[in-house]
C-alpha cells in the first residue's frame, strides 16, 4: 500500500499519494553550469559547484552521499518515489535537485538554503527542479553522519515541494518566494518568525552546531522528540546587519 510521508513543517495538499508512483528524483552532486530556475521568479545561468563536504570532512563526499541516499530511501520507502545520483534514460521524465553551492544567485531574496520551482500539487509535473545549497553549512559537524543528516533533511524538504507538499506556516519568509524557499536567517534583519525543518534522526548536538555555525542572533526553541518536529526561531535578539 502506498503511504504519504510525514515531512516536518510540511503538509500534503492533495492526499492522492499514488501520484508519487514512478517519480524519479535525480540528485546532482556533480555540479552544473547555466542552470535556469523557473519558479515564482526566473533566475538564469546558475552555476552550481560540485558538492563538497565542509572543513575536516573534506574527502568524505562519497560516504556522505551514500548516507544521504540511505536516509532518503528510508523516508520515502512507502511512496515508490525513487532517488538516483545518475541521470535516468532520456526517454524518462524526472526531477533534478542540484546539491551544492551557496545560493548566491538568490541573495536578493534572503539567505536561502533550499528552493524548489513550485509546490506541485498532485505531482502533475515530473520534471520540475529544486536546489539545496549545501555550502552554506559550516565545518562544525563532528562526523560525516551528522552532516549527512542535515543534507538529507534539506533534500527531503525540497522533494516534498516537488511532489505537492506546502509549508504549514504559509508565509514563512515573506516575499515572492515564500511558498517555495527555506532560509537559515532573516533577510534584512526582519522580525518575522522562521521555521526550520529537522528530521527524526537530527540530534540536539547537531542543532547546537547549526546555531553556532551561522552569524545571526536568533534563539532556537528546540524540543527533542522521537518523531519529526519543528524548530521555531524566535524573535531576533538583535538586528542582523
Q: Encode pLDDT of 194-231 as tens digits.
A: 333 333 334 444 444 444 433 332 222 222 222 333 33
> Does the structure show a pLDDT above 60 at 237?
no
Burial class of residue 41 (count of CB atoms within 10 Å of its CB; 0-12, 13-18, 19+): middle
- Contact 105/33 with Cβ under 8 angstroms? no
Q: How far apart are CA 65 and CA 60, in angstroms?
A: 9
pTM of the model: 0.77
Cell, residue 186: 532573516
111 within a domain of the structure (yes/no):
yes
Residue pair 138/216 in contact by the 8 Å Cβ criterion: no
129 lies in some domain: yes
Taking residues 121-127, what's their average pLDDT?
A: 91
Which residue range forms the structural domain that includes residue 215?
10-233
The pLDDT assigned to 5 comes to 86
* Distance from C-alpha of 162 to C-alpha of 33, rounded to nearest angstrom: 22
8 A C-beta contact, residue 25 and residue 83: yes
C-alpha cell at 100: 551544492
In a domain, 240, yes or no: no
- Calpha distance 220→232 (Å, rounded): 6
Is 31 inside any structural domain? Answer: yes
CB atoms inside a 10 Å sphere around CB 176? 11
Q: How many domains does the chain have?
A: 1
Q: Is residue 131 part of a domain?
A: yes
Asked if residue 18 belongs to a domain, the reply is yes
In a domain, 110, yes or no: yes
Residue 5 domain-assigned (yes or no): no
Read out DSSP for 2-21? ------TTEEESS--GGGGT
How many helical (H) and strand (E) elements, i.e. helices and strands, does the chain have?
3, 13
Each residue of 59-93: pLDDT tens digit?
999 999 999 999 999 999 888 899 999 988 776 89
- CB atoms closer than 10 angstroms to residue 93: 13
Q: What is the pLDDT of residues 5-61, one digit of tens each?
A: 889 889 999 877 677 888 999 999 999 999 999 999 999 999 999 999 999 999 999
147 vs 137, residue with greater confidence: 147
Amino acid at each position: 500500500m502506498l503511504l504519504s510521508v510525514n515531512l516536518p513543517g510540511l503538509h500534503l495538499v492533495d492526499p492522492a499519494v499514488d501520484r508519487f508512483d514512478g517519480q524519479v528524483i535525480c540528485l546532482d552532486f556533480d555540479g552544473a553550469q547555466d542552470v535556469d530556475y523557473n519558479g515564482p521568479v526566473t533566475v538564469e545561468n546558475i552555476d552550481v559547484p560540485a558538492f563538497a563536504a565542509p572543513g575536516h570532512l573534506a574527502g568524505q563526499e562519497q560516504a556522505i552521499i551514500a548516507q544521504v541516499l540511505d536516509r532518503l530511501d528510508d523516508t520515502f520507502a512507502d511512496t515508490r518515489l525513487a532517488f538516483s545520483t545518475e541521470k535516468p534514460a532520456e526517454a524518462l521524465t524526472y526531477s533534478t535537485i542540484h546539491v551544492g553551492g551557496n545560493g548566491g544567485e538568490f541573495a536578493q531574496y534572503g539567505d536561502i538554503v533550499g528552493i524548489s520551482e513550485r509546490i506541485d500539487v498532485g505531482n502533475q509535473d515530473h520534471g520540475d527542479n529544486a536546489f539545496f545549497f549545501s555550502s552554506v553549512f559550516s565545518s562544525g559537524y563532528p562526523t560525516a553522519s551528522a552532516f549527512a543528516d542535515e543534507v538529507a533533511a534539506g533534500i527531503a524538504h525540497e522533494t516534498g515541494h516537488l511532489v505537492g507538499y506546502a509549508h504549514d506556516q504559509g508565509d514563512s519568509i515573506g516575499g515572492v518566494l515564500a511558498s517555495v524557499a527555506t532560509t537559515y536567517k532573516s533577510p534584512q534583519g526582519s522580525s518575522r518568525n522562521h521555521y526550520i525543518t529537522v528530521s527524526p534522526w537530527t540530534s540536539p548536538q547537531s542543532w547546537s552546531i547549526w546555531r553556532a555555525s551561522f552569524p545571526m542572533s536568533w534563539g532556537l526553541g528546540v524540543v527533542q522528540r522521537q518523531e519529526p518536529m519543528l524548530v521555531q526561531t524566535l524573535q531576533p535578539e538583535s538586528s542582523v546587519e
